[in-house]
Amino acid sequence: MSPALFPQHVIAKKRDGGALTREEIESFVRGATDGSWADYQLSAMLMAIFLRGLTAAETVDYTRAMMHSGRVADLSGVKRPKADKHSTGGVGDNISLHLAPMVAACGVAVPMISGRGLGHTGGTLDKLESIPGFSVNLPLAGYQAQLERIGLCLIGQTAELAPADKKLYALRDVTGTVECIPLICGSILSKKLAEGTDVLVGDVKYGRGAFMKDQAKARELASALVAVAAAMGTPMRAVLTAMEEPLGRAVGNALEVAESIACLRGEGPADTMAVTFALGEQMLLLAKVAQTAAEARAQLEAVIADGGALRKFREMVAAQGGDARVVDEPGRLPQAKMQVPLAAPRAGFVEDVDALGVALAALRLGAGRAKAEDRIDPAVGVNGLVKIGERIATGAPLCVIHANDEQALAEAAVLLAKAITVGDVPGVAPRLIGEIIG
């Protein structure tokens, strides 16, 4: 190894504000993969990057090195255009579950590698695993074969894809270096581009229930993602969406799956479907199977109306070992022992539904993880949530709490009572869908 590539020299260069060469960045990422850099050296480097940043060129080199730290899926056998979507995470954000089969039913293959929930935000993999028997752990060969066969596959990150990210994300989580845009870009795009997609759409959320609280910071992240993806040859667009109140009316794994099935039947909540169509339109436009947003919207509405999207979802569930009967009988999904309405304390209008407050209540019930090793209860959460601006009568349900533990139920009820405000004047929710970048 050249003396210039010794970990301490690379760390010191970034600590002092220097721009790293591609070789130095590759040394760092390789060190995370093969163990040639110690954890304390990797952590020091992450903090140096967090404090000093990366240039646009460094961010591209970092993302490329992360992407090639493992295998890159070969989807040349998939003859359809390939499009994926990534969300930065929110509350009640079950969009992937129904958007992916909708887009696949329109003739676009959807190779989607998703994550688990951590903290207050939910994870697509946890939601899918609430379907009895559903496996998110397909090997890369099985993932590729399923995409060729049915044009749709939703799995977790395999050991073969971007292994450096798994190591570095774990260190970022415990060293206070998560909120760094170049590191976020590298983490998101290394996995998404290694999965073999042709085009990518980002749902970049901001607000109380998002990791990015500030809209300007979300815009900065969206712009960086689009620029880095373009530099690596993958067209990308990002849609900014508000996450002040939960999406839809359900928060909790099996409850959100049931709501996604309702979406595929044309019975989904208006706000959930608005975000679904906004993202789906961009996926079809980038994949070049639609020429205008209106044409893309018509295609998406058609596959709901004719049942094609629901059939595609059923096909995916069966292909991945799940009980496909849940599509027609959502009652087969895990059910909580207690289902208790939370009564409105007075008549009036819903002034506010704090997404973070609702998420913390669901977390207390066991629907999420405070720590990576925590076990999730797929049955618990809340549904029937009121929306900002709705009229409510005294004693009418603000939501229904699904719980398997009486103490957790009591504590969640207190948190929900604080999160949902009823007053004399209807609240006004912020504009849900903002600008499109890219």
Distance CA 208, CA 205 (A): 10
Tokens of 358: 């609702």
CATH topology match: 3-53 vs 83-327: no
Any idea where the domains of the chain sit in the sequence?
3-53, 83-327, 334-423
Domain at 3-53: CATH architecture: Up-down Bundle (1.20)
Q: How many helices (H) and strands (E) does the chain have?
A: 16, 12
**Fold assignment, 334-423:** Aldehyde Oxidoreductase; domain 3 (3.90.1170)
Widest CA span in the chain: 73
Q: Which amino acid type is present at position 318?
A: A
Rounded to an integer, what is the distance from CA 433 to the centroid of its chain?
16
Active site residue 120: no
Q: Which one is catalytic: 172, 312, 364, 369?
A: 172
Q: Which one is catalytic: 93, 165, 271, 352?
A: 165
What class is the 83-327 domain? Answer: alpha beta
Q: Which amino acid type is present at position 327?
A: V
Q: Which one is catalytic: 96, 187, 190, 260?
A: 187
Contacts of 153 by beta carbon, 8 Å cutoff, 6+ apart: 110, 111, 112, 138, 143, 146, 147, 316, 319, 320
Active site residue 187: yes
Active site residue 165: yes
Q: Residue 67: which of 135, 168, 206 has the closest Cα?
A: 168
Tokens of 29: 């990422």
Supply the DSSP string of 85-151, one letter for each residue.
Answer: EEE---SS--HHHHHHHHHHHTT-BEEEEE---BTTB--HHHHHTTSTT------HHHHHHHHHHHS
Q: Residue 92: which of 2, 229, 208 has the closest Cα?
A: 208
Active site residue 43: no
Distance CA 386, CA 384 (A): 6
pLDDT 10s digit of each residue in the chain, 438 long? 566 689 999 999 999 999 999 999 999 999 999 999 999 999 999 999 999 999 999 999 999 999 999 999 989 999 999 999 999 989 999 999 999 999 999 999 999 988 776 666 778 999 999 999 999 999 889 999 999 999 999 998 778 889 999 899 889 978 989 889 999 999 999 999 999 999 999 999 999 999 889 999 999 999 999 999 999 999 999 999 999 999 999 999 999 999 999 999 999 999 999 999 999 999 999 999 999 999 999 999 999 999 999 999 999 999 999 999 999 999 999 999 999 999 999 999 999 999 999 999 999 999 987 766 778 999 999 999 999 999 999 999 999 999 999 999 999 999 999 999 999 999 998 899 999 999
Residue carrying the six token digits 């609240």: 427
Tokens of 32: 């995370």
At 376 the three-state DSSP class reads coil
Q: Which one is catalytic: 14, 80, 86, 237?
A: 86
Q: Which one is catalytic: 14, 68, 166, 191?
A: 191
